[in-house]
Amino acid sequence: MAIEALLASIETSRLVPHALGQTLGKLLHAGFVPVQRLADILVQARTISPLIDDAVRQVLEKLLPLLSTVPLRNTRKLIEGYADVQSRTRRAVAAAVATQLQTWSQSAALKKAATHLLST
């Protein structure tokens, strides 16, 4: 049901990506929402349309910098999702995301994904 609500809000221009990203980022940072659940929903949403890809990118650009500098479990999946929509929307990595990726590149679990995204 969450994916349907997300898609409908994007398609009807009711989604405010930055607000959703900020709220989700705070919830993830506090541990109220498992990263895996969000990553699964975003995987389902990607590649449906350019409009949805762009909205997912905007949500992640707001969300990722709000996460802990000590990576949460499955953070790599969010980074990979961001890399995917970022490449398809042909946008540069946002400065705040790049800063967070620099920090995460020190983590063995995230080094490869973070470094790859920073090099694009």
Tell me: the pLDDT tens digits for 59-106? 999 999 999 888 888 899 999 999 999 988 998 999 999 999 999 999
Confidence bin at 55 (pLDDT 50/70/90): very high
Q: Label residue 31 left, alpha or beta by phi (over 0 means left) and psi (-120 to 50 means alpha).
A: left
Reduced to 3 states (helix: H, G, I; strand: E, B; else coil), residue 26 is helix
How many other β-carbons are positioned within 10 Å of the β-carbon of residue 118? 14
Write down the pTM of the prediction: 0.88
Q: Which domain holds residue 64?
A: 2-118
Report the number of distinct structural domains present in the chain.
1
The position carrying tokens 């109220």 is: 32
Res 43 pLDDT > 90: no
> Which residue, chain included where needed, has tokens 């997912």?
56
Of residues 46 and 114, more confidence is placed in: 114
Strands (E), 1-120: none
Q: Taking the CB of residue 16, how many other CB atoms lie within 10 A of it?
A: 15
pLDDT average, residue stretch 41-70: 90
Q: Mapping DSSP to helix (H, G, I), strand (E, B) and coil, where does residue 33 land? A: coil
